[in-house]
Structure 1
């Protein structure tokens, strides 16, 4: 995601899927901007409840956490306890 934000989207004019790993460490606006730059049709957000949250190092705005489904349409939630199961799922979903 950082590469898309710094360099712009290098490739076709759009992509089918943007995958954001460690999503809870990302700022929401960065995810939205990367999605727009890539003209992604679908965004796959990967994270876990034990992950460190995003930290606003510059303290530019008040942080408020709200339910994701109040901001975007959530089409599917996947709850896996094993990292290898998650890896297999992502690989299966991203193969053409």
Structure 2
């Protein structure tokens, strides 16, 4: 499934990484798109995402075990947490470089 948000010239597809609305004064949420669908009856478009965590969202004990003992401010960590949201909450696509190690 592919979707073109109203105000975005880019198509959103499964496995894309996107930013989503997070609320006033907060950095946007970052997530990987797992599914897109239109709800029967309402016609509303939904997105299932797998969340990335920012360093400030992780317990200090997790970061202490990190090779550097800390994370860089722009690092994000893919979690196992998933959630369904309105497609309207997507701000756009972002690039996340994967580092295995």
TM-score by length of 2: 0.24
Greater Rg over alpha carbons, structure = 2
Give 1 or 2: higher strand fraction: 2
Give 1 or 2: higher helix fraction: 1
TM-score by length of 1: 0.25
